[in-house]
Structure 1
Amino acid sequence: MQLTTETNIPVYTLKESSYNGAEHFEIVKGEALTTHQKELFFVPHRNNFYKFVFVKSGQSKHWIDMVPYVVKPNAFYFSSPQQIMLKEESTCSRVIGICFTDEFLNIEDNRVLRQLPIIQNPNYGHELLLSEADVAFIDDISEKILEEYNRGDNWRNSMLTAYMQVLLIYMSRLYTAQVLPDNATTDRELFKKFSQLIEENIVRVHDVAGYAAMVNLSAGHFSELIKEQSGKTAMQHIHDRLLLEAKRLLFHTDTSVKEIAYQLGFEDASYFNRFFKRLTESTPAAYRTAVREMYH
C-alpha cells in the first residue's frame, strides 16, 4: 500500500478526474481504471463529488477510509466527498460509473435527492450487494441514463433528473436495508440535518449545545431526538466523526499527531491524545503504527 507523505489529503474535482472534462455530472460506460488519470487514484485522496459505480465484471482492490474492498461483479459501489480513497490494483472490468457534484444536487429539480439516505450516507457505507432483480433494474436504468446523457436535445436535463431520482431512490432502499442500523427509526429528518451540520462544522464545534442551537432546540431535547432517530446520542455522533477523521489522517498521511489535533480543532495535542485513547484504548501514535503494520 502506498501512503502519502503530504500534510494534506488532495481533493480532486470532477473536472480533474473526468473522462470528458465534465464539471458537474458525468456517466461513463466501459473498462474501469486502466491508464486514465492513474496518478490521481493510486494515492490517498478525496473527491469533491459523489461517485457511483455499478460493476458488471472484473476485479480490483481499493480502500475507503481504513476499510479494504475487493470489488465484486454485480455489485454497486458508492462514495461521498468526505471519504478518503486509495486504489491498489485494477484489472479490466465492465462498469458504469456516475459522478455528480453538489452543484448538480443544488439544481432546483434535484434538491430532493440530497435528503436520500445514499446521498446523506450517515454510516459512511460504500458497498451494496445486489440480487438478480437488483442487477437487472440497475443495469436498465443506468443504460437509460447513459443514453439520455449522450443526447443533445432540450429535454435531456429533465430526463436525466427523472432517471437519477429513480436510481437514487432505489439505491436508498438498498442502503436502508443493508447499511443503516436496525434500531434506527424511519423518521430521520433531524438526524439528516445533524449529519450535514457535523460535516460542515466538526473542526470547530465539538459540543451538543452548539449543534442544538443551530436548529433552535435545547441540548437535552436535541440529543434525545437524535438518539431516537439513529440509536446513538448526539455526543456519540460528534465523537465518532472526530475519531473517524483522526483515523483517516493517521492511516493515510504522515502528518504529526500534534498537527492532526490542530486540524481537528483540539486545544492541544495532549487533550487529543486523551480523547483518542479513551475511545480506542490506544494512543494516536500507537494506532498509526499498528494499522500500518497490519495492512501494509
Structure 2
Amino acid sequence: MTLQSYDGGKSVFVAAIPGNRRNVSAEIRLDGANDYHKFIYLNTGTACAIINGQRHDITPHSLLYIPAPTPHKITLSPVADTTCIALHKSLNIPQPDHSVITQITSVEKQANYSALFDRALSQYIGATVGSRMALRSYVATLNAQIEHSTATETKPKAAQRLMRRFVTLLENKYKSGANLEFYARELGVTSTHLTRVCQQIQNTSASQVIQDRLLAEARRLLLVGDQKIQDISSQLGFRSAAYFSRFFTNHETLSPKEFRQQARRVRTPTPIAVAPNCRPKPAPFQNKLAS
C-alpha cells in the first residue's frame, strides 16, 4: 500500500492499493477513519461493501463515494486494484451528503477516472502547495459527477432501519467496551432480535458486528504510527493489554506485535475466498455517472 498525506497526516490521504502487493493479508478492509469523506475507484477485482448497514457487491470500474461519518465496511478481493482519496470533514471543501456506488461502463470514462486518481496519488507523493490546489480540482470534478447523479435510495424496511441505528450507535460507542446487551437496550429491542436482524441483513451475529468493528480499528492503529500496544488497548476500551492481546490473537491468529511486524513485510498474496457471505443485493442508492 502506498499512502501519502499532508497537513500533518490529518487532513488528506491518497492511497494506492495494488492487488499484487498486499501487507498482512490478501484481504484488505477499508473501514474506520469515518471522519473522512472517501472517494474509492476500483480498477480491477471485486469488493463487498456494507454501507450504513446495507450490503453491496462492487464490480470492476466502480466509483464509490462515502461521506463522513457514514458507518461502512469495504472488503477488497485479493486481486482488487484500488485507489482511495480521503478528505477530513474539517476541510473547507463542500461535499455531497449521500453515498454513491456506480459502475463506469464507458471505456473512455474508465480511463479518465483511472487517470484522475493516478494524478491525485502522484501529486501527494510530493505534497506541495500546488498539490493542494490540484486536489481541490480533482475533488471538484468528482463532486460534480456525484451531484449530477440522482439519489435513488429506497425507503428502508423496519429491519434495515434498525440495522442503520445499530451501526450508527456502534460507530459512536465501540471504543467504550459496551456489550451486546447495552446496544440492544439503547435500541429498545432484545439482544435476540438484534442478532436476528444482523443475521438477516449481514449474515452474521450482532456480537460479531461489534467485534469486527473493534478489530478493524485495532488493525488500523497497529498499522499506522507506533503507539504502544498498551495505549491501543486502553484507547479501545479493554481493561488490560493482556486481555486485548488475547482478543486480537483469537481472531487474527497473530498477536498484536506479530501483526504489526508482519504488516511491514510486503509479500505476494495467496488467493483466498473473500467475503463469502456477501450475496448480491440491489443497491438502494446506486446512481449512474456514465451510461
TM-score (norm 2): 0.49
**Structure of larger gyration radius:** 1
Higher helix share: 1
Task: Return the structure number with greater relative CO, CA threshold 8 A, min gap 6.
Answer: 2
TM-score (norm 1): 0.49
